[in-house]
Amino acid sequence: MNIVERGSGRPVVLVHGFPVDHRSMLPLDGWLDEPGAWRRIYVDLPFVRGSDSSRAIESSDDVLAELVDTLDRLIGPGESYLVVGSSFGGLLSSRIAHDDPRVVGLALLEPAVIADHARRDVPPHVVLHEDPDALAAVDPALAQEYAEMSVVQSAEGLQVFAESVHAGLEAADPTVVARVEQKYSLTGGEAEVGYDGPTLVVTGRQDHVVGYQDQLDLLDRYPRATFALLDSAGHNAHLERPDVVGALLRDWLVRVGAASD
């Protein structure tokens, strides 16, 4: 798997959604950039072109297995680490935190907690502020992608989307993506997944992809969770409300540090 590392210290693994790449997580880096504190490990999951895998990728189970193998190579057997997952990456990260005792902190950003799209409790897509001039100034395909996902439209938000989301969509291998889509659920489903360490769950009030109600319903499985439901934010809440999400991440890191001392 392709890996981008920054900084040194305790490992923080950042796992992106489906089917984008690690660039969707890079805007978080400024909130984690504390010298000597955090070794940030950004992964490209094996449906991204150029992110080679040691196994054939046919399902989400295969993606998870490849990610776990990669982390075992990068992180020592007795070394604690944190994991941050967005969307599909949240589905994987919650399973990793549940299974791996080395995990000392879990952050879930707009997490998918139910793999089956038809079973998700989601609101309809709404746009609270339109910016037709910004959409008209870019390629129509990019404009359509942004319009379908954005809640508060702006030229600045469109630029962030282009660099962080659209670029990753372009990097996805459509053949592998199609195979994983057919076997999107993890074996065992969501029934027993939980985590009792310091946790952050960030959801968007206008997230029409994974919603917020399903995450709220599972909150009892995360007894040390801060749960944030952000207005004016959809499925890319960490890109749309970066200052709020960044402050929540900083608080989470403090809680992880206190629990680990």
User: Residue 133: inside a domain, yes or no?
Assistant: no
User: Residue 144: inside a domain, yes or no?
Assistant: no
Which one-letter amino acid corresponds to residue 217? D
The total number of residues shown for the chain amounts to 261
Q: What is the pLDDT along the chain (261 residues), one digit of tens a residue?
A: 999 999 999 999 999 999 999 999 999 999 999 878 999 999 999 999 988 887 899 999 999 999 999 999 999 999 999 999 999 999 999 999 999 999 999 999 999 999 999 999 999 999 999 999 999 999 999 999 999 999 999 999 999 999 999 999 999 999 999 999 999 999 987 767 999 999 999 999 999 999 999 999 999 999 999 999 999 999 999 999 999 999 999 999 999 999 987
213-220: Cβ within 8 A, 24+ apart: 213/121, 214/113, 214/114, 214/120, 214/121, 215/108, 215/111, 215/113, 218/113, 218/190, 218/194
Domain harbouring 182, CATH code = 3.40.50.1820
Q: Which domain holds residue 225?
A: 3-122+172-260
CA 208 to CA 214: how far, in whole Å? 12
Number of domains in the chain: 1
> What is residue 197's three-state secondary structure?
coil
Total-model pTM: 0.96
User: Residue 128: inside a domain, yes or no?
Assistant: no
